[in-house]
Amino acid sequence: MAGVNAMEKKLAEYKCDTNEAICLKLVRFPEDLEDDGTTFHPEYSHQLYGDDEVAFGYKGLQIQLYYSAGNLSTLFKVKYSSKVTEKFDCVEADDVEVKIRDIIPAGFSCSTDDFVSRLEKEANFRPFGNLLHTYKVHNEEAGELTYQICKVDMACPGFQEYHGRLQTFLMWFIETASFIDADDDRWDFFLVQMLVLPPFQGEGHGAQLLEAVHRFYCTLPKVQDITAEDPSESYVKLRDFVLAKLCRALPSFAPDKLQLGFSEVMVKEAQDTLKINKKHARRVYEILRLKATDMADEAKARDYRLDVKRRLFGPYKKNQRELTKMMKCLRPEELVSHIRHIDTDVQHQELEKSYQEVLDEYRRIIERLASQA
């Protein structure tokens, strides 16, 4: 038994967290290759390395995936300080390289010298597609930087190959990501995945991108709604901010109109002008009404609270209707079990908790709106 435990301990030394082992980098200059400050790591690696996100067989494992910041030319190297050998009976190291090779397009480099030579040729790189929007961001280290948002399709020469290199990032930062079929031209009409890489997060790029998407597509007569499939929590917060920013300029969302309650006029104007559906328009109304409401005034605060809670109460009313139907067919002991789940006091507590959570979310959005006023 002692021998088995010793072997297990020895083998455990050769397990590596793949999220830490994978080193990503956007390289502008050759000196960036040795600068650890420009390295970032995945949030997820389970789609390649399993749910436990562990690679076995190595000590000091480092999987380098470095990209030129312009054309995304790729350098792929695997390093480690030691690797399991045949002295471990019936044990062999995971093939960590093949899993990466399965997702990165052909044409990558395994030589640092070759990668640097490619880097030197990218000084004149320009983004693909047509320019939609230009904006500036202040960076503490680099000062004021100018960014561009362009719209491009697969017909643009060279973009399909570029897109193949670009979408490898999805595997590391979107939990259920899948590659897009570049031959399906319907993707032009779907906002499927949106990603801001870690070195650029917290600078407002996501909001700029989403607003640019809305401003472009809301001008197209055939577009009825701009939405996202199965959005993440962070995306919902971003969307709330962008839509509130856009809607506050609409006449029906003026402060005096907000105090009168959510109206069909708001629904129609948000739909016709910005292609925002009723559900999203309602959230925007609640955000902007909170912004326009003096919550120190008890009467105004009460009116606002009741208005929001009426919306939040919708699922509870549905449960009550379902209970009424079940009362006709459930046995007494089954009915007691269901009643416990919709106890009135519990509902009120959950409703108040939901309201406070919504209030916190809305206040953060209002603070962000105020910072850009």
Q: Is 269 a catalytic residue?
A: no
Q: Do the Cβ atoms of 364 and 372 come closer than 8 Å?
A: no
95: helix, strand or coil: coil
Residue written as tokens 């008890």?
Answer: 298
Rounded to whole angstroms, the Cα distance separating 33 from 39 reads 9
What is the DSSP secondary-structure string of 112-170? Answer: HHHHHHHHHTTTT---SSEEEEEEEEEETTTEEEEEEEEE--TTSTTHHHHHHHHGGGH
Rounded to whole angstroms, the Cα distance separating 295 from 287 reads 13
From 8, 34, 141, 229, active-site residue: 229
Other C-beta atoms closer than 10 Å to the C-beta of 222 total 6
Total residue count of the chain as it appears in this document: 373
Q: Do the Cβ atoms of 48 and 103 come closer than 8 Å?
A: yes
Q: Do the Cβ atoms of 55 and 61 come closer than 8 Å?
A: yes
Burial pattern 72-104, b for ≥16 Cβ within 10 A else e, equals bbbbbbeebeeebeeeeeeeebbebeebbeebb
Tokens of 103: 């997702």
Residue written as tokens 């449960």?
Answer: 319
Which candidate, 312, 313, 301, places its Cα nearest to that of 259?
Answer: 301
Tokens of 9: 């301990």
Which candidate, 19, 115, 29, places its Cα nearest to that of 75?
Answer: 115
Rounded to whole angstroms, the Cα distance separating 29 from 37 reads 13
Q: Do the Cβ atoms of 71 and 122 come closer than 8 Å?
A: yes
Active-site annotation, residues: 229
